[in-house]
Amino acid sequence: MMQDDTLSRKIADIHAQIRGHVGDIGRIGIALYHADSGQLSTFVHSSDGQSPLERYQVPLAEVPSLRRLHEDGRSRIIDDLASLAGSPSEHTRRILAAGYRSSYTCPLYAQGELLGFLFFDSRQPGHFRNDVTLRLDSYAGLISSLVSHALSATRALRSAMALARELGRHRDEETAGHLDRVAHYTRSIAMALPERLGHSDEDVEFLFQFAGLHDIGKIAIPDHILQKPGKLDADEYEIAKSHVQKGSEMIGTMMREFGLANERYAGLLHDVIACHHERWDGGGYPRGLVGEAIPLAGRIVAVADVFDALTNPRPYKRAWTLDEGMAYLRDNSGGQFDPQCVAAAERCFDDWRRIHARFHPLDAA
C-alpha cells in the first residue's frame, strides 16, 4: 500500500498530537498568500468535523485584521468569536457557524517573505491561555517548516523552468505570459469543479504550481517548427507533438535532480505534462485516452491551454475575443473537452477576464 505522504496527512498527525498535549483544538487551518495576486487561499486543514473553509480565497487587502498581523509580525488571540457575530467577513461567519468559539492565529514566513497564516480554533471560549499558546508556538514552527519544505522544492523546480524559459524567450515571446495565464485559469477551474471530483485545496495549490510547466518540452522543438508562421505539414506536426514526450522526460530528470521523484505530487506533474493534449473523445495524443481515463489534471489544463491559445495572437492567427474563446470551449464540450471542466470554466469566466487583463493588460477583451 502506498504511504500517504501528503502535507494534509502530516498536519492531521500533528493535530492528533496537539489534541493529546494541549487539549481542545478542534481545527488547524493554513491559508497561503500569493504575492503575485495578493490573494489568500485555503491550503490544508485538519478538523474535528467537516471543514468550514475549502476552496476559499480572498484578497489580503480585504482582511485588514490579517494584514495588520503581517505588518506587525505578531500572533492574535480571539477569546470569544461570538463577539464578532455580524462581521462582514465570510471567513468569520463560517468559523462561527461551524461551532468554534476561540482562535489563535499566527503569520507564517519563509526567508522573510509572508507564506500565509496558521489558524488554531477551539470550541471552548477563552481556550488560548498563555500556557496553551506557548505549547502551540512550537507546533507552529514545525508546521511552518513543513509547509515551506513542501512548497520550496516545487518552487525551485519552477525557478529552474523559468530560467530555461527565459533562455528561450526570443524563440517565443508569448511563452511567459501564456504559462502564467494557463496556471491561473487552471486554478480557477479546479476550484470551481464539484468537490466530489476529489481535488482538495492541497491538490489545487500544487496543480497551480505545476500547470505552467505543461509545455516545457517545447524547449526541445526546432525553431523552424516552433516559429513557423503557417500550418505545419504532417512530418512537422509529428515533431511538434513530440514536445509532450520530451517534456515528460525532462521533468523526470529534473524531479530526480531536485529530490522529488518519490513525492506524491510527482504523479500530478506528470499528468499535467503528459495528458494536456488528450481529448475527451479519444482523438488526442500521445495515448488517445478517452473520457475519465484521462487524469483530471490533464483535462483541466487542456481547457485552460486551448482557451489561452485561442485568445492570444500567434504568427498564423489573430487573437480571438474572450467571448469567442469561451464559445469554442462550449461548442466542443463533450468532444475535445471534459464537459464538467468547461462548465467550471463558465462559472469562473469573470475571474478569467481579470486574469487576462492582469497578464496581458494592453489587450483585455
Catalytic residues, by residue number, are: 218
Query: For the purposes of burial, counting CB atoms within 10 Å of the CB of 72, is it exposed (0-12), middle (13-18) or buried (19 or more)?
Result: exposed
State the DSSP code for 47.
E
Nine-digit cell string for 321: 475575443
The CA distance from 256 to 262, in Å, is 8
CA distance 159 to 209: 11
Residue among 334, 353, 55 nearest 187 (CA): 55
CA 168/CA 222 separation, integer angstroms: 11
73: left (phi over 0), alpha (psi -120 to 50) or beta: left
**Residue 56 CA to chain centroid, in angstroms?**
12
- Taking the mean position of all CA atoms in its chain, how far away is CA 27? 22
Instruction: Give buried/exposed letters for 245-284 (b at 16+ CB in 10 A, else e).
Output: ebbbebbeebbeeeebeebbbbebbbbbbbbbbbbbeeeb
CA distance 99 to 26: 10
Terminal CA-to-CA distance of the chain, rounded, Å? 50
- Order across the sheet with 39-47: list the strands: 57-59, 39-47, 27-34, 113-122, 102-110, 76-78
**What burial letters (b/e) apply to 221-244, b meaning 16+ CB within 10 Å?**
beeebbeeeeeeeeeeeeebbbbb
Helix (H, G, I), strand (E, B) or coil at 46: strand
Closest to 270 in 3D by CA, of 291, 249, 248: 248
